[in-house]
């Protein structure tokens, strides 16, 4: 018995059309993914922020406040007196301001935490732009306040020491 060729040809033609349609659909998907990748690759990256490197440090020994700590070498001493010191970067984005007096300056309590610096209690207050370290020198009985850029606080916390000289 002979089979008719018509249904077999119809099935083959339908299969070829279905493969063509599926291939076309897959090609569209790949093309849209390629466009997304091409767009991401064409975006120019923003230039890196020019933060000075933290690899060189200097030591500040303040005779009036009788404290000492390390600070990054890109900070320059702008003002120094017997009760204060001001260190700032050239673009004024980073700074340390040290002050010692007989008057206690109380930081706000809601953003403060108690820490220990050189075996003495201290209060560290931080907000989004500023960190304030407040403590009392046990020998001179003066209150020490160091306000600084937020990024500098870990360095000051680790290197802050009281001197007896």
Percent of the chain with pLDDT over 70: 89
Looking at the structure, do residues 67 and 148 belong to the same domain, yes or no?
yes
Looking at the structure, do residues 88 and 124 belong to the same domain, yes or no?
yes
Looking at the structure, do residues 61 and 124 belong to the same domain, yes or no?
yes
User: Pick from 105, 46, 54, 104: which is nearest to 75 by CA?
Assistant: 54
The lowest-confidence range among 19-28, 106-115, 132-141 is 106-115
Looking at the structure, do residues 97 and 134 belong to the same domain, yes or no?
yes
Domain span at residue 33 reads 1-45
Looking at the structure, do residues 140 and 62 belong to the same domain, yes or no?
yes
Q: What is the mean pLDDT of the chain?
A: 84
156's tokens: 């000051």
Angle (nearest 5°) at CA 84 between 80 and 90: 55
Question: Is-contact 83 99, C-beta < 8 A?
Answer: yes
Q: How many domains does the chain have?
A: 2
Kindly report, residue by residue over 33-46, the tens digit of the pLDDT: 888 888 877 777 77
Alpha-carbon 83 to chain mean position:
31
pLDDT score of 21:
92
As a 3-state breakdown, the chain gives helix, strand, coil percent values, each rounded to 5, of 30, 35, 35
Band of the pLDDT at 7, cuts 50, 70, 90?
confident
In a 3-state reduction of DSSP, which class is residue 145? Answer: strand
CA 133, 126, 84, 72 torsion-angle sign: positive
In a domain, 52, yes or no: no
Looking at the structure, do residues 98 and 64 belong to the same domain, yes or no?
yes
What's the mean pLDDT in 111-123?
81
More confident residue, 9 or 41: 9
pLDDT of 156 above 60: yes
Looking at the structure, do residues 24 and 94 belong to the same domain, yes or no?
no
What's the mean pLDDT in 131-156?
87
pLDDT score of 108:
62
What's the mean pLDDT in 129-138?
86
In a 3-state reduction of DSSP, which class is residue 53? Answer: coil
Which parts of the chain fold into alpha helices (H)?
A: 5-42, 153-159
Kindly report, residue by residue over 77-104, the tens digit of the pLDDT: 999 998 999 999 989 889 999 999 887 7
CA-to-CA dists, residue 116 to 6, 84, 97, 143, angstroms: 93, 22, 20, 15
In a domain, 51, yes or no: no
Looking at the structure, do residues 133 and 61 belong to the same domain, yes or no?
yes
Band of the pLDDT at 48, cuts 50, 70, 90?
low
In a domain, 134, yes or no: yes
């Amino acid at each position: 018995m002979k089979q008719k060729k018509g249904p077999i040809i119809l099935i083959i033609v339908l299969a070829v059309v279905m493969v063509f349609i599926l291939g076309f659909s897959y090609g569209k998907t790949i093309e849209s993914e390629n466009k997304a990748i091409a767009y991401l690759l064409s975006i120019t990256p923003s230039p890196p922020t020019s933060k000075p490197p933290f690899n060189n440090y200097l030591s500040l020994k303040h005779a009036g406040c009788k404290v000492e700590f390390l600070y990054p070498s890109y900070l320059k001493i702008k003002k120094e007196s017997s009760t204060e010191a001001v260190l700032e970067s050239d673009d004024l984005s980073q700074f340390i301001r040290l002050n010692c007096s007989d008057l206690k300056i109380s930081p706000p309590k809601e953003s403060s935490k108690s820490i220990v610096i050189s075996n003495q209690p201290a209060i560290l207050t931080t907000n989004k732009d500023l960190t304030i370290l407040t403590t009392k020198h046990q020998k001179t009985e003066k209150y020490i306040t160091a306000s600084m850029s937020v990024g500098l606080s870990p360095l000051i916390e680790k290197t802050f020491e009281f001197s007896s000289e």
